[in-house]
Amino acid sequence: MVKSYYQSEVFTTAHGFTGGIEGPACDAAGNLYAVNYDHEGTIGMVTPDGECSVYVELPSGSIANGIRFNQAGEMLLADYTNHNILKIDPKTREITVHAHEPSMNQPNDIAIAASGIVFASDPNWAEETGQIWRITPDGKVDLLEANMGTTNGIEVSPDEKTLYVNESVQRNIWAYDLSETGEISNKRLLIQFEDFGLDGMRCDAEGYLYSTRFGKGTIVKLSPQGEIVQEIKLHGTNCTNLTFGGVDGCTVYVTLADQGNVEKFRVESPGRCRVLCGVIEVV
């Protein structure tokens, strides 16, 4: 029997991950990855059946946050402690520094375009400020915008014409026009919430934006115009991020800091990330 849409269920055992669980992303085989399994500084792998293990230990005191896969199947990580974007080879599990920028506060969440351009949010939690960075496929780092609120969740629309960035403390989601070379312009407020926080975000293939509501224990589904279409109630409260997976790309996985685990629910449309990686074809 197929589970109903938008009905969340617990997927992994509570507290198998630390309270720093974040950055979920699925590979082409359907394995789910998230940061800080068992202890800080790891990347955990969860099979489609929910079996968890340590995938890699990160080097030199690195602790990751956001994870994305590029079209080559390489894993990209925001290493916030060492101001890096790391890259992991899927065959050898070798970890290399894709980009390093010492003037970053702490690269937090990342989004990726089909061209391989990476966008990183960069909050300063103490000052309640933030920045946005662009990292080209050759590792060149450029500052796109400074003097924002606490930038956190970040995502590219399916047509790659819009970049979405949220501010956790200020509870804003901003939309920018996005050029083919990764320049942003025409900043506009998509939506502002009156309570609770914001964290990770993902788009589905139809352009709907899913965002975590940290502290509320829900995922909100927004139209490209910023209208609330659906709000999904979770079992945990402090949802940090989400991604799409499953054989059809229509399973949403959510990381929960207060539970140290992952929940999942079904939706009608596959995630943009699954289409980008060539796992799901949308006609």
pLDDT digits (tens, 9 = 90+) for 96-130: 999 999 999 999 999 999 999 999 999 999 999 99
How many domains does the chain divide into?
1
* Phi, psi angles (nearest 5°) of residue 159: -85, 0
* Phi, psi angles (nearest 5°) of residue 18: -80, 175
pLDDT of residue 283: 42
Residue 206 CA to residue 221 CA, distance in Å, equals 12
Q: What percent of the chain shows pLDDT beyond 70?
A: 96
Q: Tell me which residue has tokens 């899927």.
A: 90
199 classed as catalytic:
yes
Segments forming the whole domain that contains residue 173: 9-276
End-to-end distance of the chain based on CA atoms, in angstroms? 27
CATH code for position 33: 2.120.10.30
Model pTM?
Answer: 0.96
The shares of helix, strand and coil residues in the chain, as percent rounded to the nearest 5, are 0, 50, 50
The answer to whether position 190 is within a domain reads: yes
The answer to whether position 61 is within a domain reads: yes
The answer to whether position 62 is within a domain reads: yes
* pLDDT band of 189, cuts 50, 70, 90: very high
In this structure, of 3-7, 42-46, 184-188, 258-262, the range with the lowest mean pLDDT score is 3-7
* pLDDT band of 166, cuts 50, 70, 90: very high
DSSP per-residue string spanning 2-66:
PPPBT--EE-S-TTSB-TT----EE-TT--EEEE-BSSTTEEEEE-TT--EEEEEEPSTT--EEE
Q: Which of 79, 109, 122, 199 is catalytic?
A: 199
The answer to whether position 281 is within a domain reads: no
Q: What is the mean pLDDT of residues 60-71?
A: 94
DSSP 8-state symbol, 195 = S
* Phi, psi angles (nearest 5°) of residue 132: -130, 135
pLDDT of residue 3: 60
The answer to whether position 250 is within a domain reads: yes
The answer to whether position 227 is within a domain reads: yes
The answer to whether position 4 is within a domain reads: no
